[in-house]
Structure 1
Amino acid sequence: MRLHKCIFLDRDGVLNRERGDYTFKINDFEILDGVKEALKILKESDYLLIVITNQAGVAKGLYKEEDVLKCHTYLKVQTGGLIDDIYFCLHHPISTESLLRKPNSLMLEKAIAKWSIDPEHSFMIGDSLRDIQAAEKVGVRGILVGDKEEGENMTAPKAKNLLDAVNKFIVN
């Protein structure tokens, strides 16, 4: 069986603007500059593109799973159908513990099994430490984007945004 290389992508802060509040309405779903170009480069380099995102607002009663699905359909359409799959966790410790929720790795594990992914040739691009921790648990290299996470304990390579990460660390 052929193993595939993959780019796992966090959603908020990597693909769309992190608003500091939950993004669950299409009107608020702003795809960041350079995202479509970065996804095209990755596809041309034969990577699977899989979104891995916590969506705890559902557990908190702020919005419904249907709202998440609408945003994901919008994301796929606006990025030219380049995204292969999207995994999301609707849980939050206030109501339910879940191994799906990052920094746990069950969403990545499910994707790896379903898509026959080779962790050694894959990356997780996220904007928070929990993204990197989830990736490390399954042997996937992490790349941090943005400036949300700072500090000496940050060992993952850093980039300004998704396009910068792709150019610096993946297709260089």
Structure 2
Amino acid sequence: MRIHKCIFLDRDGVLNRERGEYTFKIEDFEIITGVDEALKILKNSGYLLIVITNQAGIAKDIYKEDAVLNCHAYLQAETGDLIDDLFYCPHHPVTTQSLLRKPDSLMLEKAIAKWDIDIEKSYMVGDSLRDIQASEKVGVKGILVGDKEKDKNLTAPKAKSLLDAVNKFIVN
């Protein structure tokens, strides 16, 4: 029996501001207002917090894996080290096909196995259709934040931000 409940978090657009270009430098990594509060609420409610992020800039040779890890370390330092794990996909179809890359679900599957996660008590919070598609493939409820997908007719619950999603759909 799986024992942990988890919030899977997309990175760009959920935890840090989506800039419309690759975010790999700490000086460009702007944590969204309310993220630290949302993470504290989730952690105090007993959730594991796991980042699930596509990082295609690695495959495109725009930045190295160290840049992803540096941004993650910065996020951790700024939010009280509340995130339990980070899974990222360094691939992109221009160079390599991979089941890790969302909308495929291998990153989620690996996290579920590693952390013994109860999918029925878990959520994926993302800002794009591919985040929701990945969560659906493993049976995790998806919540869409932001307005990136505002014109799409999606059935996933929608929230303005991670904090809004936490208050509306997760801890209420």
TM-score (structure 1 length as normaliser): 0.98
Q: Which residue of 2 aligns with 1:8?
A: 8
Aligned mates of 1:88, 1:40 — CA distance in 2: 23
Match for residue 80 of structure 1? 80
Displacement of 1:131 in angstroms is: 0.2
**Paired position in structure 2 for 1:129:** 129
Do residues 45 (structure 1) and 51 (structure 2) align? Answer: no
Which AA in structure 2 matches 1:47? Y
Name the % identity. Answer: 77
1:13-51 Cα offsets, whole Å, 9 max, x none, are 000000000000000001000000000000010000000
Q: Distance in 2 between matches of 1:35 and 1:152?
A: 25
1:77, CA displacement in angstroms? 1.1
- CA contact 2:2–2:118 (8 Å) conserved in 1: no
Shift of 1:153: 2.8
Matched, 1:30 2:30: yes
Which SS does the other structure have where 1:113 is aligned?
helix
Partner of 2:148: 148
Distance 2:152 2:38 in 1: 28
Question: What's the offset of the Cα at 1:150?
Answer: 2.2
- What is the CA distance between 1:76 and its match in structure 2? 1.0
The 1-side partners of 2:58 and 2:39 are apart by 28
- Rounded Cα–Cα distance in structure 2 between residues aligned with 1:72 and 1:105: 21
Counting matched residue pairs gives 172
Give SS of 1:49's match: strand
- For 2:27 and 2:42, the matched residues in 1 are separated by 27
Q: Distance in 1 between matches of 2:158 and 2:20?
A: 21
Unaligned runs of 5+ in 2: none
